[in-house]
Amino acid sequence: MKDWMFFPLIMALAGFIIYQAFYWGGGPEPINPEEGYVVKGTELQYLKPSPGTFTELEGLDHAVMSADARADQRPSQGVFTTLGPDYAQAYQGRTLDLTVRAKSGGQNPSDSLQIAFLTVPAIKGRFGWRKFPLTSEYQDITIRVKLADFTDEIMDAADVDDPVVYFGIWPDPEGKGRTIHVKSYAVMPVSE
């Protein structure tokens, strides 16, 4: 094939491929709040550790977490996931089950963890740290909460554009660096 023909054909082919990529997708998939919000497997690597906490993906199915400070010493969200404005809006005024699948860690195991559910702006439905015992076997720990409405008055008073919901774990309530293993975080709406 001659050069004068090759380059225009390659450019046309590249343009067609780019057009197809934009045409067929690439944007975020719409959420379906009724299916819940679940973080598990390799998605656990995206959990955010606050100061005083640590998390690391171990294998493909669980994260190892620890804390070198008590939750009351460093007020924060612990090792947390954030439900963005779409979920916060969809879940306002609803009852939710928050579930963590966890167990004591292998080395230097913690015998308990704490779970918190926090909102920005802070509204009725914000729940402080709740402590739960752990065993050497995985177990589901569930708390039920009711998220109040994010009214215009609350949003204006907090001077924020969009509400955000945080779901966090404090891995070692005594802050001694002991470990836990976590397989999943889940937020599921309760049918009413």
Low-confidence ranges of the chain (pLDDT < 70): 1-2, 19-30, 70-76, 120-127, 149-160
pLDDT of amino acid 189: 93
- For residues 167 and 127, what is the distance between their CA atoms, to the nearest angstrom? 10
Provide the whole-model pTM. 0.76
> Residue 140: which of 192, 102, 92 has the closest Cα?
102
149 three-state secondary structure? coil
pLDDT of amino acid 190: 92
Tell me the H-state helices in the chain.
3-23, 85-91, 152-158
- For residues 63 and 76, what is the distance between their CA atoms, to the nearest angstrom? 19
pLDDT of amino acid 137: 96
> Which CATH architecture describes the domain 30-189?
Sandwich (2.60)
Cα 64 to chain centroid distance, Å, stands at: 15
Sequence ranges of the domains in the chain: 30-189
pLDDT of amino acid 21: 65
pLDDT of amino acid 180: 95
